[in-house]
Structure 1
Amino acid sequence: MTTKTPSTGGQPPIHPERQRRVKTALRIFSISAWVTGALLLLLVVRMIMQYVLHLDVHALAWVARVHGLAFIVFLMASLNLGTKARWSATEWLTTALSGIVPVMSFIIEAMRRREVTETFRLDEA
């Protein structure tokens, strides 16, 4: 009796352990991208309130520091995923810079999620 393996469209099989590692790295990357993006939007709102509307934003003084820490985590997560997914330097740099442009981290996260999921067939894992 022979067992059928699912068709991979002519692509070589991906080791399940590699799929697991990439999937974990993608999850960490996605969370850090969303947190960084949300904090960056909050930082932009804070800056508008302070410099344009001349409001007292003392209660939001923590936002810049926390965003900075989140951005460092985002850089490490994107480097981790990029290493596992074997991104080019351009792909990694584009991804890294998306953490400093408002809303861009959400767009790049969705794009990288789609690419990595398709490349490593994570929906099958």
Structure 2
Amino acid sequence: MALAPKTATFPKIRSALKFYQVCSIITGTFLLLLVAEMIVKYGLHYELFLGGSGGFLYFSPVIEGPKGMESTGNGLNLSMTILIVHGWFYVVYLFSCFRIWSLMRWQLGRFIMLALGGVVPFLSFIMEGRVARDIKRYLAERESADASTGSASPQTTTTEGVR
């Protein structure tokens, strides 16, 4: 049986939820950009560059070399930049998932679903909406229950109903 979050942690939960929501949207956006970049690179054999000999923004062909696909463009490789930014921001996203998961005292399976939001296209947007709705509803119900009883509710109640 999972423990319910302590009432004293509700401000931390709200703060962690805002951070999670921002991270979720940024991670999901970069994941979609990464998917588009992979389709263009491996399907159409082009990479996107900023500056360089091709102009301000241009696609440059990639060729099959001894080490795999090799760039032929110069300038800032936006395709590689998208890959790196998504990778590093996924680490920040995982931290935000862990923070909200630990404060809400959810089961491990819930954390795994949150973490998958950064690697399954569109899932971060779905999870962000669901998690925000469920947490806000849970906090409001707990606060109204605590206000009606005049004291904090027991800490051994389950949070399994919170999705």
The residue identity in structure 2 corresponding to 1:49 is V
Displacement, 1:48? 0.8
Which structure shows the higher helix fraction? Answer: 1
**Structure 1 residues 20-67: Cα deviation after superposition (integer angstroms, max 9, x where no partner):** 111000000010010000000000111111111112333321111110
1:9 corresponds to: none
Displacement, 1:89? 0.5
TM-score by length of 1: 0.81
Displacement, 1:115? 1.0
TM-score by length of 2: 0.63
2:38 corresponds to: 47
The residue identity in structure 1 corresponding to 2:79 is L
Which structure shows the higher strand fraction? Answer: 2
Displacement, 1:18? 2.1
Gaps of 5+ in 1: 1-13
Matches within 5 A, 1:46-85: 46-57=37-48, 58-85=77-104
Q: Secondary structure at the match of 1:56?
A: strand
Gaps of 5+ in 2: 1-5, 49-76, 144-163
CA RMSD of superposed structures (Å): 1.8
The correspondence for 2:23, drawn from 32, 39, 51, is: 32
Counterparts of 1:56 and 1:88, CA distance in 2: 41
The residue identity in structure 2 corresponding to 1:96 is A
* Alpha carbons of structure 1 residues 84 and 104: separation in structure 2 relative to 1, 3 Å: same
Give the count of matched residue pairs. Answer: 110
**Structure 1 residues 68-123: Cα deviation after superposition (integer angstroms, max 9, x where no partner):** 1111001000100111111110111111111100111000111111111111129x
